[in-house]
């Protein structure tokens, strides 16, 4: 009888993360429907004054450490029990490259994740687009690769390069974590 009860409990229990599955644990801890990720390491501060959105040569970009960081984080995500229903990236080159190097499924750019740090994007416009998106998410968990200023404005959490925040759009619960 005890064996039967144990089996039933295992079948009816939610998926439990393995000891090293930090992503699934963080998503569960916050009952998150979004995971924000700051782009991988891109040395410097802000972007050059000649910044042009469609010209990566005018932007602060990932270095080799950042590229390896993104690949490593992607490997951790792929080994996780968490599957993303949607993956979105800021239109900045360092975010797009990070997202590409994660090696996950199909992804799209979304201007509601763009950096407003130096006013290359309007903060109110960015946050309005992001709020509308967060309000209309489908079921599951969405990954959003973006910038420190956007994550802080949306969640109240400050993050370093490659850090992540699991976020519940209803309760506003957060769980900050790293995968690399």
**Domain positions in the chain:** 2-177
Report the pLDDT value the prediction gives residue 19, as an integer from 0 to 100: 53
Q: Please tell me which residue, 85 or 105, carries the higher pLDDT value.
A: 85
- Token readout for 44 is 């410097």
Q: What is the mean pLDDT of residues 94-112?
A: 97
Report the pLDDT value the prediction gives residue 9, as an integer from 0 to 100: 33
Q: Are 35 and 164 a contacting pair, CB within 8 Å?
A: yes
Q: What is the mean pLDDT of residues 8-21?
A: 48
pLDDT digits over 67-86, tens only? 999 999 999 999 999 999 99
Multiple choice CATH, 2-177, 3.10.310.40, 3.40.50.1240, 3.40.630.10, 3.40.50.10790: 3.40.50.1240
Q: Does the structure show a pLDDT above 70 at 13?
A: no
Q: Are 98 and 67 a contacting pair, CB within 8 Å?
A: no
């Amino acid at each position: 009888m005890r064996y039967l009860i144990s089996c039933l409990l295992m079948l009816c229990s939610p998926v439990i993360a393995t000891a090293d599955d930090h992503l699934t644990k963080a998503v569960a801890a916050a009952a998150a429907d979004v995971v924000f990720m700051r782009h991988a390491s891109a040395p410097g501060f802000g972007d050059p004054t000649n910044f042009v959105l469609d010209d990566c040569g005018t932007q602060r970009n990932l270095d080799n450490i950042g590229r390896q960081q993104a690949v490593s984080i992607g490997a951790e995500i792929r080994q996780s029990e968490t599957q993303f229903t949607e993956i979105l990236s800021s239109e900045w080159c360092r975010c797009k490259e990070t997202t590409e190097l994660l090696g996950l499924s199909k992804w799209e750019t979304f201007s509601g994740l763009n950096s407003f740090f130096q006013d290359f994007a309007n903060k109110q416009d960015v946050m309005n687009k992001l709020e509308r998106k967060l309000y209309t998410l489908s079921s599951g968990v969405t990954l959003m690769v973006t910038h420190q200023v956007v994550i802080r404005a949306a969640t109240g959490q400050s993050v370093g390069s490659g850090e992540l925040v699991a976020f519940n759009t209803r309760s506003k619960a957060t769980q900050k974590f790293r995968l690399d």
